[in-house]
Amino acid sequence: MAILIDPPLWPAHGTLFSHLVSDTSIEELHAFARTAGLPERAFDRDHYDVPQRRQATLVAAGALPVSASELVRRLLRSGLRIPARERPERLDAVLLARWEVLLPGAPQLGRDLLTRWSEEHRSYHDRAHLLAVLAAIDRLVSAGEPSGAHPRAVVLAAWFHDAVYAGVPGGDEEASAALAAALLPGAGIGGPECAEVIRLVRLTATHRPMAADAAGALLCDADLEVLGRSTGAYARYAQSVHREYAHVPEAIFRDGRARILSALLESGSLYSTPTGAALWEGSARANLTAEITALRSAG
């Protein structure tokens, strides 16, 4: 657990730059950077860019010098590494390419949805989350999980499931379902398929599909994939959720979050597909248990 810095190998602006990272948390990295007097503009998603002239000062302040390859390995293990495809400058292109395959006749609808997913108040429920859900659906389907009578509806529901996000449990899902009902018919999606999208979006309020609901199981498991990530990646998710509720008093947030996570653990299996359970159940339960313990200890 450390602040790490690699050698100044990266040329830009007439000098060489190092990367300064934490293998514990982004909050630790920001705190170290503030103490060292690094400007906020030097932060780039998961690291600070540091000019060569500052490296020795930062090492003296406690940053551990490592090779560039070791820095990347430690950052990847921590779960704090932001993959290139999840960086804001890449996300739009990746997601719009997916939308074009999904619904080629409605490019403006795809752009409008991405505008919603890009709202400034979102820290976790953002474009990176949307891409993660879509990728999880792909993974489950490729493993043989069925997607119901309207496979495209599952993917459309992923695009709409947090399209409205104001931090109101139940209300956000209902508003997102209403948005799908209003916009999909104009894009050529009507009848049973549109009704299925609306149903699936509403289902993400509880993540409790019925036993025979293959489409619901697929979407809900994909939405909860984040719970089963590595310890470091889960910590990044939890910190992002915390930032979305920065307006809530800390004690109230801790108590509410612990209650929600405890209810999840006590409700039975977190995942409804055999593949989802095999891939993520064990890690998810360990992650939730650790976060609940931390929340209650902090309280």
Convert the pLDDT of each residue in 262-297 to its tens digit: 999 998 999 999 999 999 999 999 999 999 999 999
How high does pLDDT run on average in the chain? 93
Cβ-count burial of 201 within 10 angstroms (0-12 exposed, 13-18 middle, 19+ buried)?
Answer: buried
Q: Which residues of 30-46 are buried (b: 16+ CB within 10 A; e: fewer)?
A: eebbeebebeeeebeeb
Burial class for 267, CB neighbours closer than 10 Å (0-12, 13-18, 19+): exposed
Mean pLDDT of 72-80: 85
Name the architecture of domain 85-223.
Orthogonal Bundle (1.10)
Q: In the predicted model, is pLDDT for residue 206 greater than 90?
A: yes
**Residue 26 confidence class, pLDDT cut points 50, 70, 90:** confident
Identify the pLDDT of residue 188.
95
DSSP string spanning 148-207? -S-HHHHHHHHHHTTSS-SS-TTHHHHHHHHHHHHHTGGGT--HHHHHHHHHHHHHTTTT
pLDDT mean over 47-61: 93
* Cα diameter, the chain: 66
Report the pLDDT value the prediction gives residue 84, as an integer from 0 to 100. 67
pLDDT at 89: 66
CB 245 within 8 A of CB 253: yes
| pLDDT tens for each residue of 103-162 | 999 999 999 999 999 998 998 999 999 999 999 999 999 999 999 999 999 999 999 999
**208-221 mean pLDDT:** 97
Tell me, what's the pLDDT at 112? 97
Average pLDDT over residues 193-221: 97
pLDDT of residue 68: 87
- For residues 37-54, give the mean pLDDT: 91
- Tell me what pLDDT residue 122 has: 92
Domain boundaries, the chain: 3-81, 85-223, 227-298
174-184 average pLDDT score: 98
* The pLDDT value given to residue 88: 67
Residue 50 pLDDT more than 90?
yes
Half-sphere exposure of 197 (CA within 13 A, CB side): 26
Q: What is the 3-state secondary structure (H, E, C) of 79-94?
A: CCCCCHHHCHHHHHHH
Structure tokens, 27: 């909050």
User: Does pLDDT of 73 surpass 70?
Assistant: yes
pLDDT number for residue 1:
62
Q: CB neighbours (10 Å) of residue 210?
A: 9
